[in-house]
Structure 1
Amino acid sequence: MLMAHPTVLLDLVERYELLTSVADGTDPRIAGQLRDTAYTLCVSTGTRDVTEALAVARAHIVAAEDAADGAAA
């Protein structure tokens, strides 16, 4: 399975977290952006649930950071 680049995943995770922090259910634009971001996270990680997508994305980001740290050493 193809996996999005860790930078793309990090941007998506940060966007999702920001949108969830400001979403109060009254602004349909924010709700739409939140749905779109959740969908993109799921597609980018090969999952069907945003909670699972966030976990997979975070694990992939950490693995990429660890690999970069190992290469720099």
Structure 2
Amino acid sequence: MLLAHPAVLKNLIEQYETLRALHAENGTQEARRRMEDVACMLRVSTGTRQIDAARHRLPGARTEDDSLLTT
């Protein structure tokens, strides 16, 4: 499976988080629609159904298994 370049993925995650904050603040339909579009791009570009899973695809991202190694 092809995955998005890490820079593209990071940009999509940042856009999603910004749009999520905007939607939470003023709840415009435009912000919601754009957030849904970016979420769809994240799911397709990472091959996952969960938005949070996209963060684990970034270089240097820590997984739950990694945190067990540091304790």
How high is the TM-score relative to the length of structure 2? 0.72
Q: Quote how far apart the aligned CAs of 1:51 are.
A: 2.7
1:62 is aligned, of 44, 57, 60, to: 60
Query: C-alpha separation between the residues in 2 aligned to 1:61 and 1:32?
Result: 28
Aligned to 1:42: 43
* Pairwise CA distance, 1:61: 2.9
Residue 32 (str. 1) matches residue 59 (str. 2): no
Contact 1:6 1:61 in 2 (8 A): yes
Q: Normalised by the size of structure 1, how large is the TM-score?
A: 0.70
Unaligned runs of 5+ in 1: 64-73
Distance across 1 between alignment mates of 2:27 and 2:17: 18
Provide the rounded CA distance (Å) in 2 between the counterparts of 1:41 and 1:61. Answer: 16
Paired residues, number:
60
Q: Deviations over 1:25-58 (max 9, x none)?
A: 6311100000000000000000122232x3333x
RMSD between superposed Cα atoms in Å: 1.7
1:6 Cα deviation after fit: 0.3
Q: Secondary structure at the match of 2:48?
A: coil
